[in-house]
Amino acid sequence: MAEIAIIGAGMAGLSALHVLAAAGHQITLFDKSRGSGGRMATKKVGDASWDMGAQFMRAHSPEFAGQLQTWQQRGWIARWQAEPHEWRQGQLRPTGDNIERFVGMPRMTGLSRQLLSSAHPFIDSTRIISAANQADGWHLRSDDERDFGPFAGLIINTPPQQAAPLLASSPGLQQQCEQVDMLPCWTLLLTLPQRLNLPDMVFVKEGPLGFIARNNSKPGRDAGEAWVIQAGHDWSRQHADSPREQVQQQLLEAFTDLSGADLRVAANLWLHRWLYAIPAKALTLGALTDLQHNLAVCGDWCHSPSLEGAWLSGRRAATSLLTTLN
Ligand SMILES: Cc1cc2nc3c(=O)[nH]c(=O)nc-3n(C[C@H](O)[C@H](O)[C@H](O)COP(=O)(O)OP(=O)(O)OC[C@H]3O[C@@H](n4cnc5c(N)ncnc54)[C@H](O)[C@@H]3O)c2cc1C
At 96-141, the pLDDT tens digits run: 999 999 999 999 999 999 999 777 899 999 999 999 999 999 999 9
Give 10 Cα–ligand 1 centroid separation in angstroms.
Answer: 6
86 and 101 both lie in a single domain? yes
| CATH number of the domain bearing residue 307 | 3.50.50.60
Give 104 Cα–ligand 1 centroid separation in angstroms.
Answer: 15
d(CA 324, CA 317): 12
User: Please, are residues 5 and 149 in contact by the beta-carbon 8 Å criterion?
Assistant: yes
196 and 254 both lie in a single domain? yes
Give 303 Cα–ligand 1 centroid separation in angstroms.
Answer: 13
- Domain of residue 151 covers 3-36+116-180+283-325
204 and 274 both lie in a single domain? yes
Q: Of all atoms in ligand 1, which is nearest to the CA of residue 11?
A: 25
User: Please, are residues 36 and 125 in contact by the beta-carbon 8 Å criterion?
Assistant: no
Cβ < 6 A, ligand 1 pocket: 7-13, 30-33, 38-40, 53-57, 127-128, 157-159, 162, 185, 187, 230, 274, 277-278, 299-300, 305-307, 309-310
User: Please, are residues 222 and 216 in contact by the beta-carbon 8 Å criterion?
Assistant: yes
Q: Of all atoms in ligand 1, which is nearest to the CA of residue 128?
A: 42
**For residue 17, which of 312, 314, 297 has the smallest C-alpha distance?**
314
187 and 307 both lie in a single domain? no
User: Please, are residues 234 and 221 in contact by the beta-carbon 8 Å criterion?
Assistant: no
d(CA 276, CA 292): 29
- The residue nearest atom 37 of ligand 1, judged by CA position, is 158
Q: Of all atoms in ligand 1, which is nearest to the CA of residue 308?
A: 11
Q: Of all atoms in ligand 1, which is nearest to the CA of residue 309?
A: 19
Q: Of all atoms in ligand 1, which is nearest to the CA of residue 36?
A: 49
Spell out, as residue ranges, where the chain has pLDDT lower than 50. none
pLDDT at 119: 79
51 and 138 both lie in a single domain? no
Give 40 Cα–ligand 1 centroid separation in angstroms.
Answer: 6
CB-count exposure of residue 173 (10 Å: 0-12, 13-18, 19+): buried
Show the CA angle centred on residue 303, arms to residues 298 and 308, nearest 5°.
95
135 and 168 both lie in a single domain? yes
Q: CB count, 10 Å around CB of 306?
A: 20
The count of structural domains within the chain is 2
Give 264 Cα–ligand 1 centroid separation in angstroms.
Answer: 32
191 and 176 both lie in a single domain? no
| CATH number of the domain bearing residue 246 | 3.90.660.10
Identify which of 60, 154, 158, 285 to mutate to test ligand 1's pocket (most ligand atoms within 8 A of the CB).
158
Per this entry, what is the length of the chain?
A: 326
pLDDT at 205: 85
202 and 169 both lie in a single domain? no
235 and 295 both lie in a single domain? no
Q: Give strand pairing partners of 74.
A: none
192 and 274 both lie in a single domain? yes
For 313-322, write each residue's pLDDT tens digit.
Answer: 999 999 999 9
236 and 319 both lie in a single domain? no
195 and 219 both lie in a single domain? yes
pLDDT at 326: 60
